[in-house]
Amino acid sequence: MQKKTDQWSSKLGFILSSAGAAIGLGAIWKFPYMTGMNGGGAFFLLFIGFTIIIGLPLLIAEFIIGRGAQKEAVSAYKVLASNNGWSIIGKLGVFGAFILMSFYSVVGGWVLIYSAMSIPGLIITGTADYQGLFTTITGNPGITILGHALFMIINIIVISFGIKNGIEKASKVLMPLLFIFFIILVIRAVTFEGAMEGLEFFLQPDFSKLTGENVLYALGQSFFSLAVGISVMVTYSSYLKKDVSLPMSAGSVSIMNIFVSLLAGLAIFPIVFSFGLEPTEGPGLLFIVLPEAFAQMPLGELFLCLFLLLFLFAVLTSSFSMLEIITSAFTANKQRSRTKVAWIAGFIVFLAGIPAALSSNVLVDVKIFGLTAFDASDFLVSNIILPLGCLLIAIFITFVMDKALVKQEFYYGRNLSPGLFRLWFPIMRWLVPVTIIIVFVSSLGML
């Protein structure tokens, strides 16, 4: 198969960039508030279980499909299957990335605004009404649209430079710094008075509170946080050399994702309970809790500024992967300019995200099946498109793709035990699709 000219320069660059694509808002922003709204410790335990048993095998599968085809998401399925109809998986992924990016960029805009405000020290003030600050920012249509627009422009510029010069170089430096700052935040959070109540909420599971809806959300969160189901990782791994072990890389990404999710919970919930906040606050939880924590630290304004800038980077690395899958799908034949496609795609995503940006102000009373435009977009991606995409990928790699090629890609780059493939393949063929179907069907009562 023809080698791609645009490739990752190193295994570390690929792993950190994939981790950046997976972590971002999924682990740092969405995981805490989803955990808070869905029962705490029981949700967290389900999330870990789904990530290891379902998400990790799926991540390996997407890596195999991408590197095996050496093509982006849509073309990969055409190359690996005799029936071009399977390209519907890649097309579903591009559509899912488009919808996901449209509301993801809105949150990215919030992070961008908070980052900009933190530089002159405008967040930590004497009033300490951080909930009111978040409501003021998201309630202003001009500010939310501006943040959304600026966030998209940053994405477009980076994607225009391509893989090695855009995404990889930044990931190698800034991802480790984010881990360090998160650990500092956790150390401070657990020392607050009343922190133990928050730790119990997060780490002590109460399964009596779980419903089919909670289980579906936990499954969706595991897919969302690993970025599986929309073939983002198919596109990323298509740039990967053959000397990299896909199972080991997928394991590294999954462990980092669980670790950051754990850090997010350990940082957020002790502060929530210490300051009498509600864990069910929703999407604004992180933006309310972070200033509360840093305000209690020496040099709090400086640390908040640095943390927000690193958080902004984590958010951007995730959004890069989404715009990358859209851009690469339309530049696969090399007949279109990457820069031109990135600008056009980014502008269309910006337009599509305007309803989500306005759903907390101008369009707050406009509902789609009882949900705002923002929440409806999130639900569509996390709980319908991602599980469906994962189900189709599981069927494709075990029933359609050549098993010899699958096995070959599985073992490239590392002398792994022969039994590992014999364990992974049946999990992908039976356990993954059956689990997705059972969880989805059990949750239909809420739709």
Q: Is the dihedral of CA 19, 25, 28, 33 positive or negative?
A: negative
Is 155's pLDDT higher than 50? Answer: yes
Q: What is the pLDDT of residue 300?
A: 77
The predicted-structure confidence for 157-187, as pLDDT tens digits, reads as follows: 888 876 555 555 666 667 777 778 788 888 8
Residue that wins the pLDDT comparison between 99 and 243: 99
Q: What is the pLDDT of residue 447?
A: 47
Residue that wins the pLDDT comparison between 100 and 322: 100
Mean pLDDT, residues 344-352: 93
Q: What is the pLDDT of residue 149?
A: 95
Taking the model in full, what pTM does it have? Answer: 0.85
Residue that wins the pLDDT comparison between 432 and 293: 432
Alpha-carbon span 194 to 190, nearest angstrom: 9
Contact present, 295 and 127 (Cβ < 8 Å): no
Contacts of 191 by beta carbon, 8 Å cutoff, 6+ apart = none
Q: What is the pLDDT of residue 316?
A: 81
* Rounded (5°) CA angle 381-178-108: 40
Question: What DSSP letter does each residue of 47-73 carry, written as one string?
Answer: HHHHIIIIIHHHHHHHHHHHHHHTS-H
Is 391's pLDDT higher than 90? Answer: yes
Domains within the chain, CATH numbers bracketed? 11-446 (1.10.4160.10)
CB atoms under 10 Å from CB of 76, counted, come to 30
Question: What DSSP letter does each residue of 292-312 carry, written as one string?
Answer: HHHHTSTTHHHHHHHHHHHHH
Q: What is the pLDDT of residue 444?
A: 61
Contacts of 5 by beta carbon, 8 Å cutoff, 6+ apart = none
User: What DSSP designation does 155 have?
Assistant: H
Buried b or exposed e, range 15-54, using 16+ CB within 10 angstroms = bbbbbbbbbbbbbbbbbbbbbbbbbbbbbbbbbbebbeeb
| Residue percentage of the chain with pLDDT more than 90 | 26
Alpha-carbon span 285 to 279, nearest angstrom: 7
Mean pLDDT, residues 107-114: 92
Q: What is the pLDDT of residue 127?
A: 61
Is 44's pLDDT higher than 70? Answer: yes
The predicted-structure confidence for 54-86, as pLDDT tens digits, reads as follows: 999 999 999 999 888 888 788 888 888 877 789
Is 112's pLDDT higher than 60? Answer: yes
The predicted-structure confidence for 258-317, as pLDDT tens digits, reads as follows: 988 898 899 889 888 888 878 877 778 888 887 877 787 777 788 788 878 878 877 887
Q: What is the pLDDT of residue 357?
A: 93
pLDDT band at 125 (very low <50, low <70, confident <90, very high): low
- Tokens 């795609």 locate to 345
As beta bridge partners, residue 325 has none
Q: What is the mean pLDDT of the chain?
A: 83
